[in-house]
């Protein structure tokens, strides 16, 4: 007589990219999977990712990719070896989400629609017979001896052979961010790395950026003007907001700024608006304007020949002590020197960030030291796995965080289902 083997029952907590990938991976390998999502629908933060376009991953190989994740990067190696950028793009193509890389680095779905990515993942989960339950609040892990055996809900309970916590971070609560995963992990002995908002706009002490809200500057260099911090900084676009500044270069630096702001009242930043030329070249440019275009307004020359937005050029002149209608031939030497200094080291002072409510990523989370990187299983409780942003690992803008979510979800799902390749 053949005894039919009972399917392994797995509960996945969280319906973001990590949770959906974990559910799909486990279900494809024979597990009976139920996905529990707190919000009315899964994947709301994914739908908002990349400004709604969803920068899914990038074209970096695994080694340089891990370098960008910082000191925790090596922890991601087993997950990336199973579901790196190439494998992820193949997987997405298999569920009718082909991808492209318009600039050779950032990878987007060809549809450039993050909601379609979410919908395709949800459809694949349903095809794999994953039971998706929304508006479900998990309040406690149930354990039997040294193993997890289910969860308690706000109403009722569910049993399981394994539980995967993929609840994300507390960032952007309007899109489902919450601290439930942290609390569940702590309840069984896991520790937490301190939390700080990351990939979040900066609020500046200076008020004038608010007058330029919506104005953007392409390719600037931003660095922290503090001892011990490299002047090399970060390159990228900068965007003025109603409260300060944002844009890729600023967002990538925001986690470090948030941490510094827990120890000091303000963090000075410098911005090189012309990173492709030296200050001496800019001085020579002004000398050329004086002789060749002496009757033209400096504000217009900054706009037409340097490429600065006109409103921002006027602000720079004001910061440099120059008259707004000054012509090149009459620009005082002291104002000229101040203007060059502003162009290559504009000072802005971070006094706060826009906080967890606007953070697309959170730095910190469940400490990695009690989690096995090869399986993402807890060393505190057998059968408990983790995936995605709930863990203390994060990267800059550019597809790093979504790639980690997809890869870690896949690894956790395979491991929970007992389907890891030998």
Q: How many whole angstroms separate alpha carbon 136 and alpha carbon 408?
A: 23
Among residues 161, 167, 139, the alpha carbon closest in space to that of 151 is found at: 139
| Burial bucket for residue 143 (CB in 10 Å: 0-12, 13-18, 19+) | middle
CA atoms within 13 A on the CB side of 31: 31
Contact 118, 37 (CB under 8 A): no
| Burial bucket for residue 285 (CB in 10 Å: 0-12, 13-18, 19+) | middle
Write down the pLDDT at residue 2.
44
For the chain, the average pLDDT equals 96
Q: How many whole angstroms separate alpha carbon 63 and alpha carbon 73?
A: 9
User: What residue ranges do the domains of the chain occupy?
Assistant: 9-196+362-416, 198-268, 279-347
Mean pLDDT of 102-109: 96
Write down the pLDDT at residue 3.
44
Contact 274, 285 (CB under 8 A): no
CATH 1.10.490.10 describes domain 9-196+362-416: no
Tens-digit pLDDT profile for residues 354-410:
999 999 999 999 999 999 999 999 999 999 999 999 999 999 999 999 999 999 999
- CATH for 198-268, among 3.30.70, 2.30.30, 1.10.287, 2.40.30? 2.40.30
Q: How many whole angstroms separate alpha carbon 75 and alpha carbon 283?
A: 48
Contact 390, 167 (CB under 8 A): yes
Class of domain 279-347: mainly alpha
Tens-digit pLDDT profile for residues 127-180:
999 999 999 999 999 999 999 999 999 999 999 999 999 999 999 999 999 999
> Which residues have CB under 8 Å from 322's CB, separation 6+?
298, 331, 332, 335, 338, 339
Q: Report which of residues 210 and 50 the model is more confident about.
A: 210
Mean pLDDT of 196-220: 97
**In the beta sheet, which residues pair with residue 236?**
220
CA distances from 230 to 248, 258, 274, 279 (A): 18, 17, 18, 19
Q: Is the pLDDT of residue 323 over 70?
A: yes
Percentage, residues of the chain above pLDDT 70: 99
* HEC secondary structure over 170-181: CCCHHHCCCCHH
Contact 48, 175 (CB under 8 A): yes
Mean pLDDT of 3-30: 92
Q: Is the pLDDT of residue 58 over 80?
A: yes
Q: How many whole angstroms separate alpha carbon 68 and alpha carbon 171?
A: 21
Write down the pLDDT at residue 5.
64
Distance, C-alpha 393 to centroid of its chain: 11
Write down the pLDDT at residue 6.
78
Residue listed under structure tokens 């399981």? 160
What confidence category does residue 422 fall into, taking pLDDT thresholds of 50, 70 and 90?
Answer: confident
Contact 176, 19 (CB under 8 A): no
Q: How many whole angstroms separate alpha carbon 315 and alpha carbon 208?
A: 8
* 3-state helix, strand and coil shares in percent for the chain, rounded to the nearest 5: 40, 25, 35
> Which residues have CB under 8 Å from 284's CB, separation 6+?
none
Q: Indicate if 279-347 has the same CATH topology as 9-196+362-416.
A: no
What confidence category does residue 24 fall into, taking pLDDT thresholds of 50, 70 and 90?
Answer: very high
Q: Is the pLDDT of residue 4 over 60?
A: no
Percentage, residues of the chain above pLDDT 90: 96
Mean pLDDT of 110-132: 98
Write down the pLDDT at residue 265.
95
Tens-digit pLDDT profile for residues 79-92:
999 999 999 999 99
Q: How many whole angstroms separate alpha carbon 266 and alpha carbon 203?
A: 10
User: Rounded to two decimals, what is the model's pTM?
Assistant: 0.93
């Amino acid at each position: 007589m053949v005894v039919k083997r009972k399917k392994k029952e797995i509960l996945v907590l969280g319906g973001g990219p990590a949770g959906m990938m974990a559910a799909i991976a486990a279900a494809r390998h024979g597990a009976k999977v139920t996905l529990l999502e707190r919000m009315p629908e899964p994947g709301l933060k994914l739908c908002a990712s990349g400004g709604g376009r969803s920068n899914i991953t990038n074209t970096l190989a695994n080694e340089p990719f891990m370098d960008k994740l910082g000191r925790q990067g090596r922890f991601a190696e087993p997950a990336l070896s199973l579901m790196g950028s190439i494998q992820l793009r193949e997987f997405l193509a298999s569920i009718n989400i082909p991808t492209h890389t318009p600039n050779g680095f950032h990878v987007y779905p060809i549809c450039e629609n993050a909601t379609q990515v979410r919908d395709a993942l949800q459809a694949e989960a349903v095809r794999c017979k994953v039971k998706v339950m929304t508006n479900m609040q998990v309040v406690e892990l149930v354990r039997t001896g040294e193993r997890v055996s289910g969860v308690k809900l706000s109403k009722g309970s569910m049993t399981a052979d394994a539980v995967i916590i993929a609840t994300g971070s507390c960032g952007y609560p309007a899109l489902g961010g919450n601290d439930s995963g942290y609390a569940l992990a702590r309840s069984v002995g896991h520790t937490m790395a301190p939390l700080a908002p990351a990939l979040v706009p900066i609020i500046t002490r200076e008020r004038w950026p608010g007058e330029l809200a919506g104005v953007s500057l392409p390719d600037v260099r931003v660095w922290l003007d503090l001892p011990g911090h490299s002047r090399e900084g970060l390159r990228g676009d900068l965007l003025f907001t109603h409260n300060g500044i944002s844009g890729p270069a600023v967002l990538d630096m925001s986690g470090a700024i948030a941490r510094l702001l827990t120890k000091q009242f303000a963090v000075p930043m410098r911005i090189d608006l012309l990173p492709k030329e030296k200050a001496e070249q800019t001085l020579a440019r002004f000398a050329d304007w004086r002789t060749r275009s002496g009757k033209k307004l400096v504000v217009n020359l900054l706009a037409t020949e340097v490429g600065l937005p006109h409103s921002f050029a006027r602000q720079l002149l004001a910061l440099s002590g120059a008259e707004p209608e000054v012509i090149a031939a009459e620009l005082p030497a002291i104002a000229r020197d101040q203007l060059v200094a502003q162009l290559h080291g504009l000072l802005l002072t971070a006094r706060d960030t826009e906080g967890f409510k606007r953070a697309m990523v959170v730095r910190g989370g469940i400490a990695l030291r009690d989690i096995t990187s090869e399986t993402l299983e807890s060393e505190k409780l057998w059968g408990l796995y983790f995936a995605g942003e709930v863990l203390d690992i994060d990267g800059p803008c550019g597809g790093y965080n979504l790639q980690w979510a997809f890869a870690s979800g896949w690894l956790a799902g395979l491991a929970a289902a007992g389907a890891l390749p030998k």
